[in-house]
Structure 1
């Protein structure tokens, strides 16, 4: 059964006394005063309310009747109902004859506030349960059929294809507020907040990252970085992809701190290697680039190699991006081959250089 709280009871009293020139009391299902316009009466027993509770009817008390009861003043005491159950009593102090005309309206208002409070409580429970359920489903061991069935019952639509995005916002901004905004503007979104300034957003529609960033900015959100996965057709694939984009975000923070958007599609292999950075393989891949850095005081050759990788080894596009002649580019690439000991005509050497560039922390 729904139970009145001190906070709800006081809200009823405050609302009623804002328009009534009389004191109002709200009693619980035991006849204890939960809230009153006379604070000294709170937590005292009201025998008039106990009569209402015992008889399930309105009890009017004039001065003579009130003197025979403890903790009572003249007035009208009305049953407070919720879902056809008696949950408390509403008392209005004063001459019963003067109160009859609007006592029922006051009770109706009080019962509407009770219904509103119940709805809000249910909504909060549902939100909390959905958040907890999603955290488990997208965690390391989630995705059981029981959890998926509960997700269906809660209306979370686990059958929808979703793409996970890990969004990092500026310090001082609330990830919980951003999650609420995403849910309200993108129907059927799943959101969780794994960190104070990070939101995991599983979106059922395709988005353009640049347009999305502009929309966030227009709403006052300062996007620091966003790691995006791929469309996932079921919860199991989504859980795995969420784990991957967490690694992708960590990779971006460490290696590409100035990159606003990170895509798992483009960075899958570097991210995979980054997760094994404690092993010798990563250090071995970076040795050729360290050789370049040692002999490249102004960073020209390393910038050239990065641009060459970004432009898929297309000489003219790379030269244009660097603002140099193709002959200058050719000279630089020959110098890179010399310093790294790599044959740029061999695919395996090219792949190793490409991966090394993706794993070498960038300053901009």
Structure 2
């Protein structure tokens, strides 16, 4: 049942008075005036409105029957019905013969406005149900079956998690709400949840296939978004596509979030970030390490203290980009391979980790990608 609030009631009053030019009151079925063209009447009890709500029919008050309704001014009072229930009474002040022609117009206007309000409330309620369910799923909680049934959520449907943020932070205050409205209208199969003030989670249905792998799945999800958003909006956002983890929405979400955090830090100029671009670093990002981070970075302390640390870090990163190939690294830096070996040996002496041993190179790789110190590339 609709609960009529003062703001909606006053909108009805203002809209009707603009058209008919007579004072209008909106009353609850109990007869309390909650909005009026005469603000001093708000809060009064209107006996005529109570009569209308009980009888279910309009009432004209004039000199002949005014004594039956103490304090009620001359006019016409009509019931406002939504869903076969009287939710309010609207009164038009004036001699009934003059204002009666406006009664039907005011009644229809009020009912349309209340129906629109009811639909908006229903949409907001369903949005809250979807968000509550998704927020529970992405933190690993077990969700009652009835929650899933209410929103039509099929756990058997494969989905990929996408994170959307404004390209320029901070974006508009209504960024997420505006985006949700556009996507809800364009594609009902998308499940949406606001996970931060300017961050939207989209769970897009996908069809896993034997060919194309993760990239194919990701392109399916991204194409849905592109079809659902105006070109200007699509170009004004940053997207992050997580790893496809069958049957694990928490994993899908956490990988997408880590992809966004890593992507905005490492490649702020890019609009779309893929988990597959840098899976090892993103995996580490998703662990939210504490003491592990300190332990991982400890070998770099001596390296950063060395006068030539920028040179050594640049060489080590080039070596990693060359997949551990000294010759390819030397070519990219326009140096002799012996110079590369000398610098990498210096890294080993300072850190205690050898770039020529795979486990220790992995440690260096993670440390460099987790280190927040600025460096020249």
Q: RMSD of aligned C-alpha atoms?
A: 3.8
Are 2:117 and 1:151 aligned? no
**Residue matched to 1:23:** 23
8 A Cα contact 1:78 1:107, kept in partner? yes
Equivalent residue for 1:336, pick from 334, 344, 350: 344
Distance 1:310 1:78, change over 3 A: same
**Residue matched to 1:231:** 244
How far did 1:293 drift? 4.2
Equivalent residue for 1:161, pick from 158, 161, 184: 158
1:316 and 1:355 mapped to 2: Cα distance?
23
**Residue matched to 1:3:** 3
8 A Cα contact 1:77 1:91, kept in partner? yes
**Residue matched to 1:100:** 100
What is the TM-score with the length of structure 1 in the denominator?
Answer: 0.79
Distance 1:127 1:182, change over 3 A: closer
SS in 2 for 1:312: coil
Distance 1:137 1:32, change over 3 A: same
For residues 262-301 of structure 1, what are the structure 2 equivalents within 5 Å?
263-265=274-276, 267-271=278-282, 275=287, 278-279=290-291, 283=295, 287=299, 289-290=300-301, 292-295=303-306, 297=308, 299-301=310-312
Gaps of 5+ in 1: none
8 A Cα contact 2:176 2:194, kept in partner? no
Gaps of 5+ in 2: 207-217
Distance 1:111 1:304, change over 3 A: same
Distance 1:248 1:362, change over 3 A: farther
2:293 and 2:33 mapped to 1: Cα distance?
72
**Residue matched to 1:184:** 182
Deviates more, 1:266-275 or 1:44-53: 266-275
How far did 1:245 drift? 4.7
Deviates more, 1:171-180 or 1:81-90: 171-180
Are 2:134 and 1:134 aligned? yes
**Residue matched to 1:242:** 253
SS in 2 for 1:64: coil
8 A Cα contact 1:183 1:190, kept in partner? no
1:63-90: per-residue Cα shift (whole Å, max 9, x none)? 2322442121111111111111122211
For residues 342-357 of structure 1, what are the structure 2 equivalents within 5 Å?
346-357=357-368
How far did 1:311 drift? 3.2
How far did 1:13 drift? 0.9
What is the TM-score with the length of structure 2 in the denominator?
Answer: 0.76
**Residue matched to 2:213:** none
1:47 and 1:273 mapped to 2: Cα distance?
70
